[in-house]
């Protein structure tokens, strides 16, 4: 199947991008790794694609006073190769290796993944576990939203029409922090059946509900008891299986030194 016809614009500046995004039928195109398949399957048929890959303001990884700031256009492969991320955001460094396959990691972006908010994706759970801040702009203003408030539901975020996610800020890891990322998949590189991004007391599951599920660490038994009773089943795994697998990951993370 082929995509329905659409107009295409590749703005050279943020003001040009925001001017185009005034159109309620426009859609942002970043790495295209999720959007292009959706267009081809006609799950989405925008009038206009606004290709943001020519905007240098949205690229790059930098060390700030209290955070690592990652521009929305930074690809999974760039995150995987980044020494700053390995040193200061070890949870993300562990998680990125589970995102899809090398070819997709070369094109897909962190902004695209967070904006899409797939419940089985790795970055949204990491962003919540790390208490990260998403930086969002429209043509007039910039606002900052905690990850926990950004993810609203199934493929639903706090982004409003005309806005762009421009960056995400991950707090710097401190000495003694414990970060563990684990997931279970049918084949390496597939979306997770269920996964866990754990940072100190914050245990965040992916694939267990329509958005990341944050549990506060108590005793192992009490933490396990907080798992959702009836997580949504998928094509291959029942609700009970998913809950069981989440418990297995929780124990593994617990026992990771």
Ligand X SMILES: Cc1cc2nc3c(=O)[nH]c(=O)nc-3n(C[C@H](O)[C@H](O)[C@H](O)COP(=O)(O)OP(=O)(O)OC[C@H]3O[C@@H](n4cnc5c(N)ncnc54)[C@H](O)[C@@H]3O)c2cc1C
Which residues, in sequence order, are CB contacts of 104 under 8 Å at separation 6+? 33, 76
Taking the complex as a whole, how short is the minimal distance between the CB of residue 244 and ligand X, in angstroms? 21
| Choice between 162 and 232, CB closer to ligand X | 162
Q: Which is nearer to ligand X, 121 or 203 (CB)?
A: 121
| Minimal CB distance residue for ligand X | 108
The bridge status of strand 133-137 relative to strand 164-171 is antiparallel
Is residue 78 classed exposed, middle or buried when 0-12, 13-18 and 19+ CB atoms within 10 A define those classes? buried
Instruction: Pick the closer one to ligand X by CB: 73 or 180.
Output: 73
Strands of the chain, DSSP E: 7-9, 26-29, 48-51, 61-63, 67-71, 133-137, 142-146, 151-153, 156-157, 164-171, 179-184, 194-199, 202-206, 213-216
Question: Which residues contact ligand X (rule: CB under 6 A)?
Answer: 27-35, 37, 72, 99-100, 104, 108-109, 111-113, 115-116, 121-122, 159, 164-165, 191
Rank residues 109 and 179 by Cβ distance to ligand X and give the closer one: 109
CB of 225 to ligand X, least distance (A): 28
């Amino acid at each position: 199947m082929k995509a329905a016809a659409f107009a295409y614009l590749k703005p050279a500046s943020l003001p040009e991008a925001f001017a185009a995004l005034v159109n309620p039928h426009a859609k942002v195109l970043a790495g295209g790794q999720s959007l292009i398949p959706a267009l081809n399957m006609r799950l989405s048929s925008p009038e206009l694609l606004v290709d943001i890959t020519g905007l240098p303001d949205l690229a790059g990884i930098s060390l700030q006073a209290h955070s690592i700031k990652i521009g929305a256009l930074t690809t999974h492969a760039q995150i995987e190769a980044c020494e700053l991320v390995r040193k200061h955001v070890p949870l993300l460094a562990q998680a990125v290796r589970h995102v899809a396959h090398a070819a997709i990691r070369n094109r897909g972006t962190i902004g695209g993944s967070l904006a899409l908010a797939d419940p089985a994706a790795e970055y949204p759970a990491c962003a919540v576990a790390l208490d990260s801040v998403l930086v969002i702009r429209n043509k007039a203003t910039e606002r900052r939203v905690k990850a926990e408030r950004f993810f609203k539901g199934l493929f639903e975020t706090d982004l409003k029409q005309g806005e762009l996610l421009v960056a995400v800020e991950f707090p710097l890891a401190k000495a003694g922090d414990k970060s563990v990322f684990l997931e279970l998949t049918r084949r390496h590189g597939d979306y997770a059946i269920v996964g866990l991004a754990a940072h100190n007391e914050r245990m965040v599951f992916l694939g267990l509900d329509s958005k990341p599920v944050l549990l506060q660490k108590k005793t192992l038994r009490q933490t396990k008891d907080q798992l959702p009773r009836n997580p949504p089943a998928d094509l291959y795994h029942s609700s009970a299986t998913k809950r069981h697998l989440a418990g297995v990951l929780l124990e593994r993370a617990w026992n990771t030194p």
